[in-house]
Amino acid sequence: MSVRSKLLNPTAISAVSGSAVLVFLAVAGPALWGSAADTTDVSSRLLGASLAHPFGTDELGRDILARVLAAARLTLLLTLGATAIAVAGGIAFGLIASILPTHPRRWFTGLLDILLAFPWLLMVLFFTVIWGATATGAMLAIGFAGIPSFARLVYNLASSVSGRDYVRAARVVGVGPVGVLLRHVLPNIANPFFVNAAATASVTLLSFAGLSFLGLGVQAPEYDWGRMLQEGILRIYVNPLAAIGPGIAIVLAGLVFTLLSEAVAGVRGQGWRATAARAAGGLTLTSGRRPVVAPTVPAEDVVAEITGLRIAFATPEGGVVERVRGVDLRIGRGEVVGIVGESGSGKSLTAMALAGLLGADARVTVATHRFGDLDMSRPPTAADRARLGVELGMIFQDPLTSLNPALTIGRQLTEVPEVHMGMRPAEARARAADALASVGIPNAATRLRQYPHEFSGGMRQRAMIGMALTGRPRLIIADEPTTALDVTVQRQVMGVLRRAQEETGAAIVFISHDIALVSAFCDRVIVMKDGRMVESLSADRIREDASHPYTKALIACLPDMNSDRTLPLPVIPPELAPEALEEEVPA
Amino acid sequence: MTTTPPLATAEVVDTSTATLAARAEERRLRRGLSPRTAFLLRRLGRLVISLAVVVVASFLLMYLVPGDPVRAALGQSATPQLVEATRAQLGLDRPMWEQFLRFVGGLFTGDLGTSVRLQRPVADVIAQRFPTTLLLAVLAFVIAVVGALPAGIGAAVLARGGRRRGLSVALSAVLGILIAVPSFLVAVGLISLFAVQLGWLPAAGWGKPADAVLPVIALAIGPMAYLVRIVQVEMLAVLDTTYMTTARAKRLPRRLIHLRHALPNIVTASLTVGGLILAGLTAATVLIETVFAIPGLGTIMVSSVGAKDYPMVQGVVIVYALIVLGVNLVVDVVLATIDPRSSITEG
Amino acid sequence: MNALEIEDLTVAYGRTRVVESVSLQVPKGRTVGLVGESGSGKSTIAAAAVGLVRPESGSIRIDGAEATGPGRAARQARRRMQLVFQDPYSALDPLMPVGDSIAEALRATGRRWTGAERVARVRELLALVHLDPERAGERPAAFSGGQRQRITIARALAGEPSVLIADEVTSALDVSVQGAILNLLREVQRELGLSMLFISHNLAVVRYISDEVCVMRHGRLVESGPTEALLARPADPYTRDLLDAVPVLGERMQFA
């Protein structure tokens, strides 16, 4: 996004124009309206709204609207002063805390957390006793009360940056803690910092108004919006505008600061603009060649099938990108099919589409889509859902996140038997225990009562396979199930998967970026690139049968235990490389 | 119902590497102290330290005032006799350590000193006003939470559905405004509408049930909007997780997915925010009580701050601190009890 | 004299021993591969070597000079080892032009560089890793993952190290890009006469690039030796398990 487009969105425009108005009021307000604000006219006291006095008059006949406009300067100055104190103190303490060694740092942040537990207003009141119920005292009180939360924020930001690899790299090279702070930490926390500073200004303004309203801030004869609110509320039955007028001013000014904060955040590309763009995205699909893939399965024995699959997504800028461009997939009974591809090849999307699990943001078109004799292109009935739940199993990549951390393993493994197979809880538990045992998890009864975080990664994946086994699976779709696991654990999990397949006769769709693994485990290997199927090969003859240049290049550039160590590794030439990778590989 | 064949069993020795954390945790467990007890002890320790900080800060209040605290409280026109008498009453003529001991000792016996302005025991005044403030805060809290949870979940489902985008955006804008407008301004707005214009409800006072309606609403609106947004964000985050996809893959009914799978995972964040809200509410009561002239802790706090009535301020600050710390402790304990992972994470 | 000599190294996080009594050597101009699964401690050894963590006991010597412990001499010794990080997306400051990130590493040489010298050297290094020197002013976001990995290699080389430690440098990359990076590392090593410690969990990659292999498990060194010999006739049962577990293209996986 260009700089211009970043600035020309509604939030930024409102924020900038709002700020301009506030600055104008602060600079010119008293000069323009000061005299009107101070002119007393006892004969016109306590009047309601009229043309001459849009907000009415106060006890001494002074025009309230003029007073509101003139009070802007004091209100804003005090706000900025208090914000400056909070921000400066916050930066100082936060940065110091981030470079302290471990033990002093723990004490320091512990103290900060204790201070943070107390509501801001209470701290402000406490400080007001010390510095006095005056404008300056209130400014000091609010400012100092804001330091702990800002310090905590700065500390959190600085720490998260300090943990990044590029900071570690700088330390390795010999950059000292101050250097790291100046060169790396400060620039990278600048954006969230300003966002929060603007938000703090907004809160400060409101606190100031509150304090003056309580009579503990600005004192007569000076007046700010909060004090005017206090005076106004005493006469609210006579002239409501006396209170509402300053109230509106407070809300609007607070809104300007909040908008400013959102505008700064929006420089990173989030917020309203992106949402609006997504909503407006038009649909223009590109035409693609249909790949030639010889079907290897007679129609009656088809477990699942999807033809003419196209999947597109809307981009943040408002366009549409097609990620799967015409795919035909047919899985036979008991067949183990592997889908191999690099990132962006569309392999996972294809699998999710086959399972009927794509989200609402995916624009899908298909020619046919069925699971057995169930037509998947129609919305499923309750009976359809039960069948799918029982006969279609899914295993995902990250074992840490694919199981619900808040529920026991038992709860998650008994759901399908209870909900879809009509089993009573005791029966379902027995079935779940059997499933765990069959995937090689000992002490199944105890394990059922445990939570996912008490299982290791390999065990969790086996539990996922077990979950599929509690049904009557005809198809198991496994999306990179072993990518996150160690290679010895991977072997165990693959063994469990093989055994499950043999015992239930289920077909398996196995997705991976590891072509060696896929060819070693599956009967048939499908290679995908840039949303299309490139080739479909028999696994045991993959090396001999590979005919597409991309497949051959993929196989050639993979180092295995027999690669020639004296030669440079073959590299996929640019004309064959997937578009999604945008890699410039040198000659 | 056809019987499903029993699944064959096979023993596989689990040689997968346990994570370092798990190994370390086992070692810690074997050392005797259950993680739950350790957590409780740590938490109580933190409470005691926080309380100590508050007590010390309260005690030092008078000493932090620039110049002479007594003169600052009584004003320049006070007679020297009055100044001396007040000084004696505040105990400022004694050495500091003796004052501190008396102060802390008083806390244990329930003697919080005597209000300079009202010439009554501070503890009596607080005891009289405390129930009012508590009622106000609790009512507002209950309304905020009970209203926000279903609204937040609904807002999340609405936003995710992809349809009715206009409604979702409008809701977000309304929430934004409600969060941004402070409670006392909401109060002013409510008064001018319902009391001045429509005359349905009283603008001030305390005693009849009708008196409570506007103050409670004014107190509850901001926190409720804030909680709705938090619940919505949390729910959206949960709906995007892989385990939700797993639940959907099992083709479970929608309601079951939301209630059994999603809800437990947003409870943690909601509880945490709920605790923050309750703590913040106790502070907001100060402003609301002032607007509606309600005789609670808030109004006495404001007048004591203005008059520099140190014993009163100290007493009320400590009471407020106790409330806030107590709420935090309860929230932490409840969170630890219901979150299955918490015994492993640091308290 | 070995370029890198690790003797009886023990590193602990809190009370847990992550690395326990590990000894290994990297001869001058050679590549030693360190292979192990998660929790084996291999990345911790890299961190200890460059001074990011303090070892509990043991010594690390580079070109004979002791690199552990406080003191100027140890710090200077550590600078002669440079680390190439795993994740190309977090290894570069997103706000800094890549030329500046590389130039930052010139400090490790211990010499003073004038502005002009700095610019020239950065251009040299970019050319060395086959990137366009004109792009020194661009930020990391303008480069792909593989290109960013090249930049991190250039940064490591800027410090003129005698030992290069590559920690899982291909794990975050796609297969089509992996080979190019491995080739680059071999080429650079030969041209500059570097010694390299190559850490990875991928046995095939380690085999391809290393002259010797060390196998680690649960913080201990299980076995080590020349690559071909070790992998043809592994002595330790864990090494054998590791070898068995690697899938071979076109060969059906057998389970007991």
- The predicted pLDDT at position B27 comes to 53
What percentage of chain C exceeds 90 in pLDDT? 66
Specify the higher pLDDT residue, B18 or C185: C185
Contact present, B194 and B186 (Cβ < 8 Å): no
Q: How confident is the model at residue A7 (pLDDT cuts 50, 70, 90)?
A: low
Give me the helices (H) in A283-324, please. none
The closest alpha carbon to A532, from A567, A580, A573, belongs to: A580
Alpha-carbon distance B29 to B37, whole Å? Answer: 11
Could you tell me which of A353, A363, A349, A430 has the C-alpha nearest to residue A392?
A: A353
d(C-alpha B220, C-alpha A261), whole Å: 25
Please tell me the predicted confidence (pLDDT) of residue A277.
40
Half-sphere exposure of residue B15: CA atoms within 13 angstroms, side-chain side: 16
- Chains adjacent to C (≥3 CB pairs closer than 8 angstroms): A, B
Compute CA A111 distance to the chain's CA centroid, rounded to the nearest angstrom. Answer: 30
Q: Do residues A527 and A534 touch, judged by C-beta distance below 8 A?
A: yes
Q: Other C-beta atoms within 10 Å of C93: how many?
A: 25
Chain C residues within an 8 Å CB radius of A342:
174-176
Residue-wise pLDDT for A479-497, tens only, equals 999 988 889 999 999 999 9
Closest residue, chain C, to B21 (C-alpha)? C16
pLDDT in tens, A49-78: 777 778 888 777 788 888 888 888 989 999
**pLDDT above 90 coverage of chain A, percent:** 39
According to DSSP, the β-strands at A475-479 and C65-66 are unpaired
Q: Chain B 99-158, CB below 8 Å of chain A: which residues? A: none
Q: By the 8 A CB rule, do A376 and A370 touch? A: yes
Q: Which residue, C219, B205, B8, B36, is CA-closest to A499?
A: B8
DSSP per residue, chain C = --SEEEEEEEEEETTEEEEEEEEEEE-TT-EEEEEE-TTSSHHHHHHHHTTSS--SEEEEEETTEE-SSSSHHHHHHHHTEEEE-S-TTTSS-TTS-HHHHHHHGGGGG-S---HHHHHHHHHHHHHHTT--GGGGGS-GGGS-HHHHHHHHHHHHHHT--SEEEEESTTTTS-HHHHHHHHHHHHHHHHHHT-EEEEEES-HHHHHHH-SEEEEEETTEEEEEEEHHHHHHS--SHHHHHHHHHS--TTSPP---
- Say which of B17, B18, B24 has its CB closest to residue C15: B24
Pick from C14, C15, C37: CB nearest B17: C37
pLDDT bracket for residue C83 (50, 70, 90) = very high
Question: Which residues in chain B have Cβ-Cβ distances shorter than 8 Å to C16?
Answer: 20, 23-24, 27
| Residues C80, C62 contacting (CB under 8 angstroms) | yes
Q: Which two tokens stand for residue A546?
A: 């590979």
Task: Assess C146–A contact: CB distance below 8 Å, yes or no.
Answer: yes
Q: Does A499 touch chain C (CB under 8 A)?
A: yes
Averaged pLDDT for residues A212-223: 86
- Residue A582 scores a pLDDT above 60: no
Q: Among partner residues C75, C180, C249, which is closest to A585 by beta-carbon distance?
A: C180
**Beta-strand pair C4-13/C57-62:** antiparallel
Task: Single out the residue of C104, C60, C57, C111 nearest to residue C81, CA to CA.
Answer: C60
pLDDT beyond 90 at C132: yes
The answer, yes or no, to whether residue A225 has pLDDT greater than 80, is yes
- Residue-level pLDDT at B260: 92
Lowest average pLDDT, out of A289-293, A353-357, A367-371, C136-140, goes to A289-293
pLDDT at C134: 94
Name which of C16, C38, C218 is nearest B24 (Cβ-Cβ): C16
For residue C197, which phi and psi values (nearest 5 degrees)?
-110, 115
pLDDT tens-digit series, residues A399-428: 888 999 989 999 999 999 999 999 999 999
Write the single-letter amino acid at A247. G
Do the Cβ atoms of B246 and A403 come closer than 8 Å? Answer: yes
Residue A267 is predicted with a pLDDT of 66
Nearest Cα of chain B lies from the Cα of C18 at a distance, in angstroms, of: 8
Give chain A's radius of gyration (CA, Å).
Answer: 33
* pLDDT for residue A298: 57
3-state secondary structure of A174: coil
Q: How many CB atoms lie within 10 A of CB B345?
A: 11
Q: Does residue A560 sit at the C interface (CB-CB below 8 Å)?
A: yes
Element (H, E) at B61: helix B35-64
The DSSP 8-state label assigned to residue A57 in this structure reads B
Q: Does residue A528 sit in helix, strand or coil?
A: strand
**Measured between CB atoms, does B29 come within 8 Å of chain C?**
no
Distance, CA of A244 to CA of A241 (rounded, Å) = 5
Q: Indicate the pLDDT class of residue A580, thresholds 50, 70 and 90.
A: low
User: Taking CB atoms and an 8 Å limit, are B17 and C39 in contact across chains?
Assistant: yes
Q: How far is CA B329 from CA B84, B282, B323, C129, in A?
A: 42, 16, 10, 57
pLDDT in tens, chain B (347 residues): 333 333 333 333 233 333 444 454 555 555 556 767 777 888 888 888 888 888 888 888 888 888 777 877 777 777 888 888 888 877 777 888 888 888 888 888 878 888 878 888 888 899 999 999 988 988 999 999 889 988 998 888 888 776 677 888 888 888 878 887 888 888 888 888 888 888 888 878 788 888 888 999 999 998 999 899 889 988 989 988 999 999 999 999 988 998 899 988 888 778 888 888 887 887 789 999 988 889 999 899 988 888 888 888 888 888 888 888 888 888 888 887 777 665 444 33
Predicted-complex ipTM score: 0.88
Q: Which two tokens stand for residue A18?
A: 């709002």
Q: What is the CA radius of gyration of chain B?
A: 27
Bridge partners for A395 per DSSP: A478
Contact A480, A395 (CB under 8 A): no
- On the question of pLDDT at A566 being above 60, the answer is yes
CB spacing of B19 vs A437 below 8 angstroms: no
Residues of B in contact with C39 (CB under 8 A): 17-20
pLDDT at B31: 57
**Strand, helix or coil for residue A68:** helix
pLDDT in tens, A81-105: 999 999 999 999 999 888 888 888 8
Q: pLDDT per residue over C92-127, tens digit each?
A: 999 999 999 999 999 888 888 999 999 999 999 999
Average predicted confidence (pLDDT) for chain A: 85
Please give the Cα distance from B95 to B114 (Å, whole number). 19
Which residue, C156, C208, C204, is CA-closest to C49?
C156
The neighbour count for residue C187, using CB atoms within 10 Å, is 14
Give me C29's structure tokens: 């101009």
Q: Which residues pair with C83 in a beta bridge?
A: C165
Would an 8 Å CB–CB cutoff place B23 in contact with chain C?
Answer: yes
Neighbours of A446 (CB within 10 A): 10
Paired strand residues for A369: A306
pLDDT surpassing 90 at residue A524: yes
Of A219, A109, A103, the closest CA to residue A158 belongs to A109
User: Which 8-state DSSP code applies to residue A320?
Assistant: E
pLDDT value at residue A223: 86
Query: Which residues in chain A touch residue C108, judged by CB atoms under 8 angstroms apart?
Result: 172-174
pLDDT at A190 over 90: no
Q: Is B216 in contact with B141 (CB distance < 8 Å)?
A: no
